[in-house]
């Protein structure tokens, strides 16, 4: 088991971003479709309903909107849950390049979801950011 990294510079330099080939969609679950939750990569309960991150295939089969396909870039550093600055640095680097970014933090890693058409460019930017630290 790896030790969480808390130092900002160490998190950024060690993030080793990896681009997932899978297309994902952020979807709002319609009433009565709770069975889809078990197929979600992630979910979040909001006041307006249950938001899910679904693969393109699952979203298509369920007839859900798929207007913004996203790709996931996993920052493979085991970032501490109370670490400060990694998400901000990633979001800032991508924003400066005009790339939208939806960050999702999990127990071991942070994940940047970017529009599919910008994914390769986003990966290069994050690799450069990691090398700059």
Note whether residue 3 is domain-resident: no
Residue 18 counted as domain residue: yes
pTM: 0.85
Per-residue pLDDT, 69: 97
Residue the block writes with tokens 């940047």: 112
Neighbouring-strand partners of residue 70: 24, 115
8, two tokens: 């900002």
| pLDDT tens digit sequence for 84-133 | 999 999 999 999 999 999 999 998 999 999 999 999 999 999 999 999 75
74: CATH: 3.30.2130.10
Residues 34-81 have pLDDT tens digits of 678 889 999 887 878 888 999 999 999 988 889 999 999 999 999 988
Task: Domain of residue 83: give its range.
Answer: 8-132
Q: Which residue shows structure tokens 């679904």?
A: 54
Considering the domain boundaries, does residue 57 fall inside one? yes
């Amino acid at each position: 088991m790896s030790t969480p990294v808390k130092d900002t510079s160490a998190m950024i330099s060690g993030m080793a971003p990896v681009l997932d080939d899978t297309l994902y969609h952020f979807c709002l679950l319609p009433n009565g479709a709770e069975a889809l939750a078990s197929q979600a990569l992630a979910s979040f309960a909001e006041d307006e309903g249950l938001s899910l991150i679904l693969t393109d295939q699952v979203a298509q089969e369920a007839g859900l909107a798929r207007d913004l396909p996203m790709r996931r870039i996993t920052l493979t550093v085991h970032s501490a849950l109370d670490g400060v600055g990694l998400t901000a640095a990633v979001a800032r680097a991508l924003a400066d390049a005009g790339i939208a970014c939806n960050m999702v933090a999990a127990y071991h890693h942070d994940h940047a979801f970017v529009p599919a058409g910008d994914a390769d460019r986003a990966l290069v930017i994050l690799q450069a950011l990691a090398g700059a630290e």
